[in-house]
Structure 1
Amino acid sequence: MKQSKSRRKRGIMLTPAGLKRLEAAILAVEKAHNNGDRFTLDELGLRMNVSSKTLSRLWSLDRGVDQKTVRVCFSAFNLELCSEDYTILDEPNHTETSGELLVSLETEEVSSSESLSVDSFINEQRDKLKHFWSYPDGPVPLDSPFYVERPPIEELVYREVTQPGCVIRIRAPRQMGKSSLVLRLCAFAQKQGYRTVNLNCYQIDSDGLTDLNQLLRNLCWRIATELDIAPNLNDIWDEEVGCKLNCSFYLQYLLKQIQSPVVLVLNEVDCFFEHPHIATEFFALLRSWCEEARQNANWSKLRLVVVYSTEEYATLDINRSPFNIGLPIRLVEFTQQQVEDLAQRHALDWSSGKESAQLMSLVGGHPALIRIALYYLCSQVITLQELIQEALTNGGIYRYHLWRHWAKLQEKPSLAKIYTDVVTAKQGISLDPIEAYKLESLGLICFKGDRIIPRCELYRTYFAKQLATII
């Protein structure tokens, strides 16, 4: 019996490749025509002539949008829709499609010779998303759809880095998104034609943390190498002058050879706080560069970005520190709306707000803990209820994260004793400011008015049990 062809409208959804191509085109327009500022969802909707709800469906990568809408969205950014940009999403209870799917946007006609279920399409789509679903450990890659903006932070740092001789101070505990923000700041700077040098201070050898001359020579060598300039340190470095002056002369020598601004990022400068003599001299040097940039045209090409978890005010002279000048940026937790938006990007429908509220009652808006949960939930290896129950009993999917914190506390018994008081108190307590700073730098507490409480319920429950074993 001859099968008849059927004609009906089918929704289509973007592939990861299609979404990446569209986002790249949007980013290019933002840089060229919007001063680098990101479009809001409403602004994008106006530009594409579609609703923000439709855009949310388009970005979700799991819900269908009509073919004409997708074509309109692409054309708004001078893109032509290609077959690699989308896949067909069959409607429920209609599963007849061909073994080799042939799609025509003009005729919207599909011929079928064998049955293929909607589940097959979903599974195929999940396979295409697997490269995005890597375990969330480390900075969010530039091409990832899982980076969550926290307005107005991105706008502030993008604007500030264009200012001559600027200083940007980014502060937050570990795994709050500092490195992800720095990646995007450097990418923005490079789009402006700037040179960027992104240094992680934990890569400095132990000798560099006890010998200031060795530290500054290493720093100069690394900066020159990143700028593709032959270091030639021995030709310029004069041991009789002193290492700080040598370092300043050398950096000025590098800046003279670069026509464009140079963004110097110093990540994890906290490592110097355990070496007070080195910290005092090194941070005083950074402060002198900032002051020089205000009055010297060559030095004004330098843009300094300092990234850290906490300040040790007790060990630094406020007049010789870079931690009280420039633009201060402090990263905060995700809001419930941001959590729901991120869940949607993971192909989870949390629009009711129930699921996001349940997860946040456990981990708050902690970016790393939220992303770890969504990774396991979208991979369908655990339900939300199982996740919460296991996390409160033995740490569950968070056990490695918790073990890292536990190891830090065991290294500092006096700090562990203080944290015991925090997690066992029925209400917030007061602490010595230095001890509070140490716990905050680890990300273990937050401030509620003038009182201190555990960062989240997960920490309260887990560490109350663990700390009880060593008291």
Structure 2
Amino acid sequence: MKQSKTHRKRGILLTPAGLNRLQEAIMAVERVENHGDHLTLDELSDRMNVSTKTLSRLWSLHTGVDQKTLKLCFSAFNLELHEQDYTILNENEHDSSETSQALSLSSDTLDLRSSQSLSIDSFVKFGREQLKNLWSYPDGPVPLDSPLYIERPPIEELVYQEITQPGCVIRIRAARQMGKSSLVLRLLAFAHKLGYRTVNLNCNQIDSDCLTDLNKLLRCLCWRVATELGMDPNLNDRWDEEVGCKLNSSFYFQNYLLKQSQSPVVLVFNEVDRFFEHPQICDEFFALLRSWCEEARQNLNWQKLRLVVVYSTQEYVTLDINRSPFNIGLPIRLVEFTHPQVKELAKAYGLDWSTGKESGSLISLVGGHPALIQLALYYIRCQEMTLEELIEEAQANGGIYRYHLWRHWIKLQENPELAKTYAELVTAKQAIYVNPIETYKLESLGLIRLEGDHILPRCELYRAYFEKQLVTATTRI
């Protein structure tokens, strides 16, 4: 009796995690080296030193390749192959459970075998399909693998390009909950794919006593960066109290941290608003950072440092308008979502807002404020709340936005003169004059928008809520 032929599979397959890592690295190279255009299959073949036929087998996710080939593909984009990036095909097994899962997720989106170009959009869709039903309460930055992140061109492209420039500085400014942290996460991931080393420092983690003593602050910074880079801080041997803390920290970065690093170092300062409460420290610290950037024009070690400064400006309410945290580098100011972007986000939540009527109604209430839009879509999709109910409750008592509104209310109460000005603004029937200092402070808080010479409440939600609150408070007085 003739035995049936046994199907044998050899080699390894990409897992969803491995596929995601590789596609992100390819996208990073396309942005930096190819002006954002997709690399063709032939171009990838040349870069990876494998045949187009082998690449087609790799993209198919159901035909095994050998481990050496996969390592070549990853190393071509400065990646190390990890165990979670692939699954091993057993000789006498048709499929492993993980392979079956990958095939079921990718069969409709990754059939690239007959294509002569690699579609990165297909890879992105692949990742989104895995996450489309995983909606959670929108609090904090949007995770890297979330389909709920909406790009705001050309912002992402600008920061990705700038971070590749030696000795660069990027300043990301926006009011609270406008998406600064979500953008930083993606910038750091992009830098990591390029082989850069990264340090993400939240200034709220710095002890208060360090913010009244520049020497303590700079030692703290040097220790943190060295530790994050996996180096022995060795501060006592490299810190000479006779020469002053600014020179000490400069020499420490130049001759120790940066000199030992073979690749660029991206240093992010998040929440630098914390420094604004300490003007003397603020002035000295940012002057020092500026001197480092100027050194990068002539010193190769300093050229490895890429600085990213992130701030909301909310604490400018108590600061002199002329005390700026930075006036060099690439300024990035996050803008509100547009109508198409709101519709795109609604689609990610599984809502059909294609007509634009619903997105128009929501924007009329909250403008294009990312956090407020995101919160509304979450409640509509996951809490069985209609858009009409949401708008009615928000205008009556703040509704789902009450905590957000309370934070602004507290800020205004801390500055009675500013609160009085805002009360006049939200109750005015026509444009009124607001002096430049108060305009700057209200705009920094995110409470107003500027239309030519007109100063208006940022959105209808703010106008309705604060008109009621501020007028009531004034009446009581």
Q: Same fold (TM over 0.5)?
A: yes
**Which has the larger displacement, 24-33 or 241-250?**
24-33
SS of the aligned residue for 1:447 comes to strand
Which of 94, 98, 101 is 1:84 aligned to? 101
Is structure 2 residue 380 aligned with structure 1 residue 377?
yes
Q: Is the 8 A contact 2:131 2:147 kept in 1?
A: no
Cross-structure match for 1:367: 370
Is structure 2 residue 439 aligned with structure 1 residue 458?
no
Cross-structure match for 1:341: 344
Q: Is the 8 A contact 1:135 1:375 kept in 2?
A: yes
Q: Is the 8 A contact 2:137 2:378 kept in 1?
A: yes
Corresponding letter in the other structure for 2:408: H
Q: Is the 8 A contact 1:201 1:268 kept in 2?
A: yes
SS of the aligned residue for 1:469 comes to helix
CA distance in 1, matches of 2:395, 2:58: 47
Identity of aligned residues (%): 68
**Which has the larger displacement, 430-439 or 189-198?**
430-439
Cross-structure match for 1:406: 409
Alpha-carbon offset, residue 237 of structure 1: 1.4
Cross-structure match for 2:24: 27
Alpha-carbon offset, residue 405 of structure 1: 1.5
Corresponding letter in the other structure for 2:286: F
The CA deviation string for residues 115-139 of structure 1, in whole angstroms up to 9 with x for no partner, is: xxxxxxxxxxx99755x31111111
Corresponding letter in the other structure for 2:59: N
Cross-structure match for 2:7: none
Q: Is the 8 A contact 2:175 2:444 kept in 1?
A: yes
TM (norm. structure 2) is 0.74
Matches within 5 A, 1:219-230: 219-230=221-232
Corresponding letter in the other structure for 2:399: G
**Which has the larger displacement, 375-384 or 296-305?**
375-384
Corresponding letter in the other structure for 1:194: Y
Cross-structure match for 2:189: 187
Alpha-carbon offset, residue 329 of structure 1: 0.9
Q: Is the 8 A contact 1:196 1:263 kept in 2?
A: yes
Q: Is the 8 A contact 1:164 1:300 kept in 2?
A: yes
SS of the aligned residue for 1:288 comes to helix
The CA deviation string for residues 327-347 of structure 1, in whole angstroms up to 9 with x for no partner, is: 111110000000001100100
Cross-structure match for 1:155: 157
CA distance in 1, matches of 2:291, 2:322: 15
Which of 225, 243, 246 is 1:244 aligned to? 246
CA distance in 2, matches of 1:467, 1:211: 40
Is structure 2 residue 331 aligned with structure 1 residue 350?
no
The CA deviation string for residues 351-390 of structure 1, in whole angstroms up to 9 with x for no partner, is: 0111100111100100000000111111142000000000
Cross-structure match for 2:286: 283
Q: Is the 8 A contact 1:29 1:77 kept in 2?
A: no
Corresponding letter in the other structure for 1:434: I
Corresponding letter in the other structure for 2:395: L
Q: Is the 8 A contact 2:132 2:348 kept in 1?
A: no
SS of the aligned residue for 2:269 comes to strand
Gaps of 5+ in 1: 1-17, 48-73, 89-125
Corresponding letter in the other structure for 1:198: N
CA distance in 1, matches of 2:58, 2:435: 55
Cross-structure match for 2:110: none
Q: Is the 8 A contact 1:287 1:322 kept in 2?
A: no
Matches within 5 A, 1:281-360: 281-310=284-313, 314=320, 323-360=326-363
Q: Is the 8 A contact 1:141 1:180 kept in 2?
A: yes
CA distance in 2, matches of 1:414, 1:390: 29
SS of the aligned residue for 1:324 comes to coil
Corresponding letter in the other structure for 1:278: I
Q: Is the 8 A contact 1:221 1:231 kept in 2?
A: yes
Which of 431, 436, 447 is 2:439 aligned to? 436
Alpha-carbon offset, residue 22 of structure 1: 7.1
The CA deviation string for residues 178-236 of structure 1, in whole angstroms up to 9 with x for no partner, is: 11111100110011111111111122222122221121111111111111111121221
The CA deviation string for residues 157-197 of structure 1, in whole angstroms up to 9 with x for no partner, is: 11110010011111111111111111100110011111111
Corresponding letter in the other structure for 2:228: E
Which of 386, 391, 412 is 2:389 aligned to? 386
Corresponding letter in the other structure for 1:307: V
Corresponding letter in the other structure for 1:240: E
Cross-structure match for 2:201: 199
Q: Is the 8 A contact 2:31 2:161 kept in 1?
A: no
The CA deviation string for residues 32-51 of structure 1, in whole angstroms up to 9 with x for no partner, is: 445378979xx89x99xxxx
CA distance in 2, matches of 1:280, 1:398: 36
> How many pairs does the alignment contain?
385
Which of 230, 248, 261 is 1:258 aligned to? 261
CA distance in 2, matches of 1:322, 1:412: 22
The CA deviation string for residues 87-142 of structure 1, in whole angstroms up to 9 with x for no partner, is: 89xxxxxxxxxxxxxxxxxxxxxxxxxxxxxxxxxxxxx99755x31111111110
Q: Is the 8 A contact 2:24 2:193 kept in 1?
A: no
The CA deviation string for residues 58-86 of structure 1, in whole angstroms up to 9 with x for no partner, is: xxxxxxxxxxxxxxxx9798143765358
CA distance in 2, matches of 1:20, 1:407: 44
Cross-structure match for 1:66: none
Is structure 2 residue 177 aligned with structure 1 residue 175?
yes
SS of the aligned residue for 1:170 comes to strand
SS of the aligned residue for 2:308 comes to strand
Corresponding letter in the other structure for 2:61: E
State the superposition RMSD in angstroms: 3.0
Corresponding letter in the other structure for 2:185: L
SS of the aligned residue for 1:303 comes to strand
Gaps of 5+ in 2: 1-14, 42-54, 63-98, 106-128
Cα distance change, pair 28–304 in 1 and its aligned pair in 2 (3 A): closer
CA distance in 1, matches of 2:57, 2:153: 25
Corresponding letter in the other structure for 1:154: E
CA distance in 2, matches of 1:179, 1:440: 20
CA distance in 2, matches of 1:77, 1:357: 44
